[in-house]
Structure 1
Amino acid sequence: MTAVLSADRSQVQADFGEFVRVNLPGLLRYAHALTGNPHDAADLVQTVLEKVGSRWGAVLRKDVEPIAYARRALANAHISRWRRHRREHLVADLPEVVAAAGVDRLEHEPLWQALRALPPRQRAVVVLRFYEGLSEQEIAATLGISPGTVKSQNSKAMATLRRRLEPEG
């Protein structure tokens, strides 16, 4: 009996390892688009994969695609982290500007700046729709919201992006 459980457990771990190997680049891209920088994206993906890996057997038994489950977990974890850390910290003196060692090549791109300024759910919808190429139903399933909410969040996000990216004059 113990040998059977051990064999099942090692198969589940192998399945999770294969899932990570195949989907890690896409999850990192998605997290990068959500967070706005590659370092926070890597941290977010690592945190979520730890949680998903510990529940991998249960994830496989659910009626959801594992990649959709992981994307939803990334979106939820990002929103939770954003809510925890969005408070302002007022200081008496401005901090010295130190050049970052790893400068993000997209940092000064107007589209990237406008995308980062969107609220987390709108950003998640836009990234899943236009970056990952998911349909409205797939986005709704991934984020756990209705297709109507996907449409309204996408519409608001696109209006905001158009307004911010519109040439002046």
Structure 2
Amino acid sequence: MFKKAQDAKPKEITYERVKGYFLWLIGKYGDYTSKTLMQKANLLFKEDTSFNEEALNHLIERGIVDDLRYAQRLTLSYSEKNIGPNKIKQKLYTKGFTSQIINECVESISNTEEDYLDKALALKIKKFGEPPIVDEKIKQKALRHLIGQGFSYSVANKAISHSSKEN
């Protein structure tokens, strides 16, 4: 009546099939890094990976896969949130971008130390209140929190000792 999945012959792996798989992924789920696409293709087409790199290079040449463009868009999105440059670098690294692309994108952010201080201050006020922190335990907790959000030690320390009278 119904054929079992085991009885079905596996489809032949071709250049067109691999390229179609890449296009399907991008169309359904959005942008990917070239590294991630290659990992997914190597996993799916593990019997014959000879077409994977060729198909990926075709998409890169056509501008469909562009790691720099994708990283810049992500960097802009992350910079609008209250996170520091170190956290942005970490998030981009986990996406699979090269360190060269990551550094280029983070340097292109036009945020100064004062902008990062404002973001760190907003996080500090949200979690620990507006007055400067004097208790040593709470100060250390706040420092760990702000550094964990990607801010440098100096910016985090300024945010913790900042008072509204200094404005």
Q: TM-score, normalised by structure 1?
A: 0.28
The structure whose Rg is larger is 2
| Bigger relative contact order, structure 1 or 2 (CA pairs below 8 A, ≥6 apart) | 1
Q: Which has the higher helix share?
A: 1
